[in-house]
Amino acid sequence: MAAEVKKEIQLEIAHLLFIDVVGYSKLLVNEQIELMQELNRIVRGTECFREAEASGKLIRLPTGDGMVLLFFRSPEQPARCALEISQVLRSQTHIQLRMGIHSGPVNQVVDVNDQMNIAGAGINVGQRVMDCGDAGHI
């Protein structure tokens, strides 16, 4: 049996913002596409997103009916971003989000598509935190 070389896992503390569209699966496919395009525009338009992206300290992962943003500088970044998104959504009642914030350890992995991805307890707990909320809650 060939000797396996194990790489040392490098953990980083990420500050995560999970975003989930409430009622997404009840929408028609074209409505899902339009809604996600609008949500992407709103998220990309926030100041905290632009700052983190410009610094190279932001990872964005789609989740099908939402996304997770991983910030690496400050635990305040996901909270600021969630508040900015909430302020924009006050005038757009057709989009209902649930958001969760968490800080925890993550590591880079290669996924089934041979692409860089993120895993770890930070992701797992962050998802559970978001699931505790309902529409309009952070």
- Report whether pLDDT(1) > 60: no
Phi, psi of 114 (to 5 degrees): 60, 30
Q: What pLDDT does residue 91 have?
A: 84
48 closest CA partner among 12, 66, 73: 73
Confidence at 4, pLDDT banded by 50, 70, 90: low
128 vs 31 pLDDT, higher one: 31
Instruction: Give domain limits for the chain.
Output: 12-131
133 vs 98 pLDDT, higher one: 98
- Residue range 28-39: average pLDDT? 94
35 vs 129 pLDDT, higher one: 35
Confidence at 138, pLDDT banded by 50, 70, 90: confident
- Report whether pLDDT(7) > 60: yes
* CATH topology (fold) of 12-131: Alpha-Beta Plaits (3.30.70)
Confidence at 73, pLDDT banded by 50, 70, 90: very high
H-type alpha helices, the chain = 29-44, 47-55, 76-89, 121-131
